[in-house]
Amino acid sequence: MQQNIYNSRTCPDDTSSILKQINWEQYEGNLENNRTESMGTSRSCVIRWKVVFVVFIGLFTTINSAFCPNGCTCDDETLVVSCIGVNLDVIPIALNPSTQRIVLKESRIRTVDAAAFQFYGDLKNVDLSSNHLVTMPDGSFVAQKNLVELHLKHNKISILTEKTFQGLISLTVLNFRDNYLETLKNGLFISLTKLEELDLGQNRISKIEPNAFAKLTALRILYLDDNQLITIPSPALASLSTLAELHIGLNVFWSLPDDGFKGLERLAVLDIEDARLDNISDGAFRNLKALRILKLSGNSLRQVPTKQLVILTRLEELVLGQNAFTALKMGSFQGLFNLKKLDISGAKLLTTIARGTFSDNTNLETLILKSNRKLTTIEDGALAGLPNLRHLILRDNAFTTFSESLVAWRELKRLDLSENPIVCDCNILWLSEVLIPRNSSPVFCVEPPVSRGKSLRGMTPDELGCTFSDSRKQAFLAIFCVAGLAFFIGLALIFYYRCRKRVRDALKDYKWKNRAISRKEHEYQKTFSEDEYVVRDHGHHNHQSQQQQHCYPHQQHSSLHPHNHHHHQMNQLHNQQFQQLQQHLHNSQITAGIKPIPVTEL
């Protein structure tokens, strides 16, 4: 029996059948002779025998329990072996053959030997993450018919072939994140007919051939983010009719073409974050009728793509932060009637949210507007007509105050207004009362200086500089003002009815005097020169004489009588003296340079 085993020049393929023929009682005595006779065996056959010997030495020394490497945890009840950070160089082959899960993370394993997993036919989960794997030999998992999950992330694998995954007929999750893959060739995953989740993110993939994902008829989740793609691999994606999630951000697309996602009618989640997009074609989302979540943050969009989004009638969640638009205009999210969550965070240029921005989004439940460092204004009416709004996050913006009519504050379940430069004055007293019953993030005052650093919650009216802020005081003040006004109005009416005759007479006299004064002012408007004054003065005396004659005609008649003749002479004498005196004064004023005051007729 021993000669048939050790003197054979060929290395048997069926290792298990050979193992059954070994006579363990004679194994130790004939070990040296057999080793000499087997020197001619090929190198690959020797390696296989070493594997066999190691396994059965472990089984021989521990009949009832498998060998567990130092630093590892081996549980024969849960059939889980965990070796994390124990610096293994190779995959241990002396473990319990019934093991169902092997975790060999953060070690120094460089390759997966072709026979390493052949002894563990019941494996369902293998995790070789964070090792130094460079290659994956063909057929490495050919014996793992029951393997469901294979995790190979954070390694240095750069080449895969269609034979790498042969035998993995039950595999549903394959994680290849953070490796060195550059190209996905046609038929690469053709053996993985039951694969549901494929993670190829954070590699160096720049080319995906049209049939790279052929036969992946059950795939639901695909990660292609953080690679070197410059266009959407539309031909390769078209065959994934069952795909529900596509994560393709952190590439360099610049734009999304029309029908870029053709064939993905069942796609529910699309992540295109940080892809440097500055243009989206009108028909880019035309075939995504089932889309529920769309992430477009971290791009260079200068305005909300309203026209492109309007066809996504089933959209429930939209993430648009870190873009270059400066304002959210009226009707920016037109047609998104089923939108429930909107996140616009980190938009460095956003300053204003206009009235009517969310007029079509009556089902909106969560609105997140945070870390927009220039956002100072939300116009009244911007949040009107949102009866289902329950979560409002306005954190870390540039708001100094908020309007009480902006939203139904007391109906919100979650409210975060922290990290804003709030001015704590009487205009925000209502907000202090709103925050009292809530377990929300604290709101601290920035202005005025006397309140800086204080929490707004629970601040008293006096601390906010309010006068008559108490409702009872306000009611008393209002009653007092109304009563005082009524008293003065009644007093005025009584005075008017009692003295109305006098008031009317006074008004008549006032009007008459105003008219008389107006006439006199009109007559005094003209001024005279010195020459005009002399002429005017002479004419005035003549007129005065005529007036005297007219007003006192009896004097003329009296001159006819002898006993009045003397009296008439005396009057003439006095008139002559008066004229001489007036002429003398006039000449003195002219000599002194004083302009005489003209006399006007009344």
Q: What is the pLDDT of residue 196?
A: 98
What CA–CA distance (Å, rounded) separates 452 from 445?
Answer: 5
Q: What is the pLDDT of residue 42?
A: 39
Mean pLDDT along residues 342-350: 97
Please enumerate in sequence order all residues whose Cβ is within 8 A of that of 57, keeping only pairs 6 or more positions apart, or say none: 94
**For 4-13, 87-96, 335-344, 444-453, which range has the lowest pLDDT when averaged over its residues?**
4-13
Tell me whether residue 31 is exposed, middle or buried, using C-beta atoms within 10 angstroms of its C-beta: 0 to 12, 13 to 18, 19 or more: exposed
Q: Where are the domains of the chain?
A: 2-50, 530-591
Q: What is the pLDDT of residue 75?
A: 95
In contact, 471 and 459? CB cutoff 8 Å: no
Q: What is the pLDDT of residue 580?
A: 65
Q: What is the pLDDT of residue 59?
A: 43
Q: What is the pLDDT of residue 353?
A: 97
**372 token code pair:** 């927009």
DSSP string computed for 243-271: --EEE--SS--SEE-TTTTTT-TT--EEE
**How big is the CA angle at 200 (ends 118 and 323), to the nearest 5 degrees?**
160
Distances (CA, A) of 556 to 102, 395, 547, 553: 152, 108, 13, 5
- Which pLDDT tens digit goes with each residue over 291-341? 999 999 999 999 999 999 999 999 999 999 999 999 999 999 999 999 999
**For 35-39, 74-78, 254-258, 458-462, which range has the lowest pLDDT when averaged over its residues?**
35-39
The answer to whether residue 531 scores a pLDDT higher than 80 is no
Q: What is the pLDDT of residue 13?
A: 40
Q: Please state whether 458 falls in left (phi above 0), alpha (psi between -120 and 50) or beta.
A: left
- Which pLDDT tens digit goes with each residue over 9-20? 334 343 333 333
Alpha carbon 417 to chain centroid distance?
Answer: 13
Q: What is the pLDDT of residue 534?
A: 44
Distances (CA, A) of 109 to 70, 86, 91, 144, 568: 16, 11, 7, 20, 154
What CA–CA distance (Å, rounded) separates 377 from 398?
Answer: 8
What CA–CA distance (Å, rounded) separates 73 from 57?
Answer: 20
Most confident among 350-354, 566-570, 579-583 (mean pLDDT): 350-354
What CA–CA distance (Å, rounded) separates 169 from 142?
Answer: 9
Q: What is the pLDDT of residue 116?
A: 83
**217 token code pair:** 């008829």
pLDDT grade for 202, boundaries at 50, 70 and 90:
very high
Which amino acid is present at 458?
A: G
Please enumerate in sequence order all residues whose Cβ is within 8 A of that of 362, keeping only pairs 6 or more positions apart, or say none: 337, 385, 386, 387, 388
Q: What is the pLDDT of residue 67?
A: 84
The answer to whether residue 68 scores a pLDDT higher than 60 is yes
Counting every residue written for the chain, the total comes to: 602
The answer to whether residue 507 scores a pLDDT higher than 90 is no
Straight-line distance from the first to the last Cα atom of the chain, in angstroms, rounded to the nearest whole number: 162
Query: Quick one: what percent of the chain has pLDDT higher than 70?
Result: 71
Mean pLDDT along residues 40-64: 42
**178 token code pair:** 């953070």
pLDDT grade for 511, boundaries at 50, 70 and 90:
low
Q: What is the pLDDT of residue 515?
A: 59
Mean pLDDT along residues 570-578: 58
Mean pLDDT along residues 68-88: 94
- Which pLDDT tens digit goes with each residue over 239-258? 999 999 999 999 999 999 99
Q: What is the pLDDT of residue 57?
A: 42
The answer to whether residue 197 scores a pLDDT higher than 80 is yes
What CA–CA distance (Å, rounded) separates 345 from 416?
Answer: 14
Distances (CA, A) of 506 to 392, 490, 499, 511, 513: 68, 22, 11, 9, 10
Please enumerate in sequence order all residues whose Cβ is within 8 A of that of 31, keeping only pairs 6 or more positions apart, or say none: none
Most confident among 80-89, 139-148, 195-204, 452-461 (mean pLDDT): 195-204
**158 token code pair:** 């750069």
**How big is the CA angle at 534 (ends 528 and 540), to the nearest 5 degrees?**
90
pLDDT grade for 490, boundaries at 50, 70 and 90:
confident
What CA–CA distance (Å, rounded) separates 491 from 246?
Answer: 82
What CA–CA distance (Å, rounded) separates 434 from 206?
Answer: 54
In contact, 430 and 404? CB cutoff 8 Å: yes
* DSSP structural state of residue 185: -
Q: What is the pLDDT of residue 156?
A: 96
- Which pLDDT tens digit goes with each residue over 150-191? 999 999 999 999 999 999 999 999 999 999 999 999 999 999
Q: What is the pLDDT of residue 34?
A: 41
The answer to whether residue 113 scores a pLDDT higher than 60 is yes
In contact, 599 and 540? CB cutoff 8 Å: yes
- Which pLDDT tens digit goes with each residue over 396-409? 999 999 999 999 99
pLDDT grade for 543, boundaries at 50, 70 and 90:
very low
Mean pLDDT along residues 277-282: 96
